[in-house]
Amino acid sequence: MNRTTILLPLSLKVRAQRLAAEKGISLSELIRECLEAQASPKTKKKDLFFADQEFFSGEAPKDASQNIDQYLY
């Protein structure tokens, strides 16, 4: 592994340390996990509108941008 220095606002560092402690892992491991989740090429971002199961179930339609009014109203 390579040592890397990052600058964090104090409030973010404190929250991250608490989360790492809750998970029983080091701050370094938490940061690695977060970076891996965000930087992974496999990560597919969900459209939050269609991810809300209260309003929509199933896959997002491929024509949503063309027929947005049909889906919203």
- One digit per residue, the tens of pLDDT, for the chain of length 73 reads 899 999 999 999 999 999 999 999 999 999 999 999 888 776 566 666 666 666 666 677 788 788 888 877 7
CA–CA distance, 45 with 15 (Å, rounded to integer): 24
Within 8 A by CB and 6+ apart from 11, the residues are: none
pLDDT of 49 reads 63
pLDDT of 25 reads 97
pLDDT of 52 reads 62
Q: How many domains does the chain have?
A: 2
pLDDT of 30 reads 97
Domain match, 35 and 14 both? yes
Domain match, 73 and 62 both? yes
Range of the domain at 22: 8-42
Distances in whole angstroms, Cα of residue 22 to Cα of each of 9, 25, 27, 33, 42 = 20, 8, 11, 14, 27
Domain match, 59 and 37 both? no
Query: Within a domain: residue 3?
Result: no
Residue 10 carries which side chain, given as an amino acid letter? L
Mutual angle of helices 10-23 and 27-39, in 10-degree steps: 100
Domain match, 36 and 49 both? no
